Amino acid sequence: MHEIICPHCGKAFKIDEAGYADILKQVRDSDFDKQLHERLELAAQDKRNAVELAQAQAASRLQAAAAAKDAEIQQLKASLDAGEVARKLAVSEALGAIEKERDALASELERARQEKRAAAELAQAKHASELERGAAAKDAEIQSLKAKLDAIEVAQRLAVTQAVSVVEKERDELRSGLGRAELEKQLAEKSLKDKYETQIKDRDDAIERLKDLKARLSTKMVGETLEQHCETEFNRIRAMAFPRAYFEKDNDARSGSKGDYVFRDADDAGTEIVSIMFEMKNESDRTATKNRNEDFLKELDKDRTEKGCEYAVLVSLLEPDSELYNTGIVDVFHRYPKMYVVRPQFFLPIITLLRNAAMNSLKYKSELALFKAQNIDVTNFENELETFKNAFAKNYDLASRRFQTAIEEIDKSIDHLQKTKEALLGTDRNLRLANDKAQDVTIKKLTRGNPTMAAKFADLKKDAPPDAG
């Protein structure tokens, strides 16, 4: 039993455990509901403050990063504009020098043409004057010769009469000598015929021996014979015509194929003038599938590209009856770039032609190399700029991903707080229902079915003064 004092009248009354527990629960539920509402309000306010703070911090970081990025971009644009202006200035200066030199050469050429025309006109005038003087002199000489001719004709008639008798005498002597000469001629013809028949027989025997040798030689040996011929011809004039040239067999077969010879020539400074890949093909190099010059061009172009040569030349004895290839040097640019087909006798001329043509462009190659060297700083700057841009983009991407991760974590926290709020709201509903049930509790309901408690509460009510609560 518990003793309870009424707050209004100050009287004490006793109540059993069940009644006391119900009254205590009613008091506690009311206080708990008030505290629960206060804590829910505080939790909601803390959540709002945390979200606003995170959003403010994220916006501040983004604004700072964007400002820094804009400043860097403006600085890089300024640097690029300065580099572009410098490059254009260098190009315009180089072009100005070249155009000035071209104009000077054109002016000199025009002066030379004018001088040539003036000299030709002067020579024509002198020649006309000399012709006129010569014509007058020849007319006088003709008159003199006519007079002499008349005198000579008289003397000739006399001399002819004397000569006829002498000629008749010589004719008779010649007739007798002609018989002897005819006999000697027949003997000489027979001797020459025998001599030439012997030479023809020797030549036919030599041809047969060469045919037999050619039939017995393998394809590789015949090809090497043409290669040795070309190598010998080149070495014969190497010291005089190509003192700094490289002409050796191509022994690099790492790509699966190789040409026969590689020719490279350079100037005193070591700058390459021209490079040629050579392939030699004899008649015995023909196979069932490759028996024309065109069948070997594709592989030759591949070898030229892999070995870094500028030109490719096929020295060939294939298709001996072709009028196209027998005319000399044949360019096949329509099939493969910078490629020629030549007969062996044009081996040295094609080298000379290509080298001389390349010499004309060597000056421009040197100027281009100088221009590239002058612009290497711009290239390096552009490379460094690109590296910086890539690194900046990488760091920005990393920061962006981390910022996104932080936002996702904040969203997860918000979801977690929302779930907590929903759980607390569910608790609030249950507490409200419990409070409603507690508020519905009365003394009448508590004592219903309990006569003892009903009698005690009735006694308390009787003893209570009229103004007691």
Contact assessment for residue 15 and residue 23, using Cβ atoms and an 8 Å cutoff = yes
Instruction: Give the pLDDT confidence score for residue 346 in this predicted structure.
Output: 92
Task: List C-alpha distances in Å: 266 to 64, 90, 189, 275, 359.
Answer: 59, 28, 61, 9, 10
Contact assessment for residue 314 and residue 225, using Cβ atoms and an 8 Å cutoff = no
Phi, psi of 255 (to 5 degrees): -85, 0
Instruction: Give the pLDDT confidence score for residue 1 in this predicted structure.
Output: 61
Q: pLDDT below 50 — which residues of the chain?
A: 216-223, 469
Distance CA 115, CA 123 (A): 12
Task: List C-alpha distances in Å: 303 to 144, 167, 414, 448.
Answer: 80, 81, 69, 116
E strand map for 226-344: 246-249, 261-266, 272-281, 311-316, 330-331, 339-342
Instruction: Give the pLDDT confidence score for residue 446 in this predicted structure.
Output: 65
Instruction: Give the pLDDT confidence score for residue 123 in this predicted structure.
Output: 66
Ramachandran sector of residue 256 (left: φ over 0; alpha: ψ -120 to 50; beta: rest)? left
Phi, psi of 260 (to 5 degrees): -95, -50
- For residue 406, give every residue at least 6 positions away whose Cβ sits within 8 Å of its Cβ, in sequence order, or none: 54, 58
Side by side, the strands of the sheet bearing 339-342 are: 246-249, 261-266, 272-281, 311-316, 339-342, 330-331
- For residue 225, give every residue at least 6 positions away whose Cβ sits within 8 Å of its Cβ, in sequence order, or none: 217, 282
- 110 CB neighbour count, 10 Å cutoff: 10
Distance CA 23, CA 438 (A): 8
Residue 251, both tokens: 């022994």
Q: Is 342 helix (H, G, I), strand (E, B) or coil?
A: strand
Rg, the chain, Cα only:
61
The tens digit of pLDDT for each residue in 37-84 reads: 777 788 778 777 877 887 777 777 777 777 777 777 777 777 667 766
Q: Is 441 helix (H, G, I), strand (E, B) or coil?
A: coil
Contact assessment for residue 420 and residue 43, using Cβ atoms and an 8 Å cutoff = yes
Phi, psi of 406 (to 5 degrees): -65, -40
HSE-CB for 15 with a 13 A CA cutoff: 18
Contact assessment for residue 247 and residue 233, using Cβ atoms and an 8 Å cutoff = no
Instruction: Give the pLDDT confidence score for residue 305 in this predicted structure.
Output: 92
Distance CA 140, CA 147 (A): 11
Least Cα distance to 369 among 465, 462, 223, 270 occurs for 270
- 362 CB neighbour count, 10 Å cutoff: 16
Distance CA 302, CA 312 (A): 10
Cross-strand bridge partners of residue 278: 261, 313
Contact assessment for residue 12 and residue 4, using Cβ atoms and an 8 Å cutoff = yes
* Burial call 250-262: b when 16+ CB within 10 Å, e when fewer: beeeeeeebbbbb
